[in-house]
Amino acid sequence: MQWLDALIQGILLGGMYAQYALGMTLMFGVMRIVNIAHGDLMILLALVGISGSAMFGVGPFLVIVLLIPIGALLGWALQKGILNRVIGGDELPSLIATFGLSVALQNLMQQIWSADSRSLPGGGLESASVNVAGVYIGVLPLLVLATAVGLTGGLDAMLRFSPFGRALRAASVDSEAAAITGVNPRAVYATATAAAVAILGIAAVFQSLRATVSPADGPAQLIYAFEAVIIGGMGSVWGSFLGAIVLGIAQAIGFRADPGWGILMGHLVFLLVLAGRPQGLMSRNR
């Protein structure tokens, strides 16, 4: 029973990681960029949400509605101001630029919000649970998982069927050829990054509801998102969802075995996948 409980908690935790991982899959799949400030942007949005909620006295769902456009705007500005200047060929500049951004953001947040941990009051939502056959399942984690499934399905469908998705896939395969056929790669990139950071806005609200956030938390979230993407298979939207679930289960079971080993167990599973199936669980190529 104890292990079944750990398994269920792991799947639910994986829902949270799936939300972080989506934005990363989108950005890497399209631009071959890894944004090292990915986790820090999520923390920034979470802190903005917490302060905004306290200032205007609005509930978590209104905060989501506010954070999505803020995230989209941030992503668009990030692409226009920084990433569009460093993409192409060499990966070094984009890595270094986002690394610098990450250091600056972390310290800026520490200056504004201090190093304290905060969380978003959910009005009882965070402690509500349902009893399913003897296992208590939190309502909030279920909501997180359901949102993750919805976002993953939505993103997958958008990439497959919408004109924007076609433009995006075209630009990622060959940006010059896409440009010839009338796709503006830079505009596509800006929209993709805006979408990626807007998804982080949703993740930020859930993260600050179910746990605490502090300015130094970003790198850990970046690493979880990254591990989910690699475990699942690079470039596959449902793959990164599956990877996030696997990572969540590994961590939850590790925590149950010994609290010090939870996160480490996640890293070990990641390394095992890298050793045994480097293309990821769901990747079709190779």
Partner 1 sequence: MRWMVELSCYLAVAQMWNLLAGYGGLVSVGQQAFIGIAGYALFILSIRFGINPFVGVALAVIAPALVAVPTYALLHRLDGPYFAIGTWVIAESFRLLTTNMDFVNGGAGLTLRAMTQFSAQERAIGMTSWSAALILITVGGSYWLLRSRYGLALAAMRDNAIAAESQGVNVKRLRFLIYVAAAAGTGLAGAVYYMAQLRISPVAAYSPKWASVCIFIVMVGGIGSIEGVLIGALIYFASDRLFGEYGTTYLIVLGIITLLVAIFARGGVWGVVSRYVGVSIFSTRRIFARGDA
Q: Which residues bind partner 1 (CB under 8 A)?
A: 28, 32-34, 36, 82, 85-86, 91-97, 99-108, 110-111, 219, 222-223, 226-227, 230, 234, 258, 260-261, 263-264, 267-268, 270-271, 274-275, 278
* Shortest distance in whole angstroms from residue 152 CB to partner 1: 20
Angle subtended at Cα 231 by Cα 225 and Cα 232, rounded to the nearest 5 degrees:
90
* Shortest distance in whole angstroms from residue 253 CB to partner 1: 16
Write out the DSSP string of the chain. -HHHHHHHHHHHHHHHHHHHHHHHHHHHHHH----TTHHHHHHHHHHHHHHHHHHHT--HHHHHHHHHHHHHHHHHHHIIIIIHHH-SS-SHHHHHHHHHHHHHHHHHHHHHH-S--B----TTGGG-EEEETTEEEEHHHHHHHHHHHHHHHHHHHHHHHSHHHHHHHHHHH-HHHHHHTT--HHHHHHHHHHHHHHHHHHHHHHHHHHS-B-GGGHHHHHHHHHHHHHHH-TT-HHHHHHHHHHHHHHHHHHHHH-GGGHHHHHHHHHHHHHHH-TT-SS----
Q: Encoding tokens for residue 16?
A: 């949270």
* Shortest distance in whole angstroms from residue 230 CB to partner 1: 7
In whole angstroms, give the CA distance from residue 221 to residue 214: 12
59 vs 278 by CB, closer to partner 1 = 278
115 vs 157 by CB, closer to partner 1 = 115
Point out which residues pair with 129 in neighbouring strands.
138
104 vs 132 by CB, closer to partner 1 = 104
174 vs 258 by CB, closer to partner 1 = 258
* Shortest distance in whole angstroms from residue 6 CB to partner 1: 19
32 vs 186 by CB, closer to partner 1 = 32
40 vs 126 by CB, closer to partner 1 = 40
Task: Compute how many other C-beta atoms are within 10 angstroms of the C-beta atom of residue 203.
Answer: 28
* Shortest distance in whole angstroms from residue 142 CB to partner 1: 29
Q: Encoding tokens for residue 57?
A: 């006295």
* Shortest distance in whole angstroms from residue 222 CB to partner 1: 7
* Shortest distance in whole angstroms from residue 270 CB to partner 1: 6
* Shortest distance in whole angstroms from residue 4 CB to partner 1: 26
In whole angstroms, give the CA distance from residue 26 to residue 124: 34
103 vs 128 by CB, closer to partner 1 = 103
39 vs 201 by CB, closer to partner 1 = 39
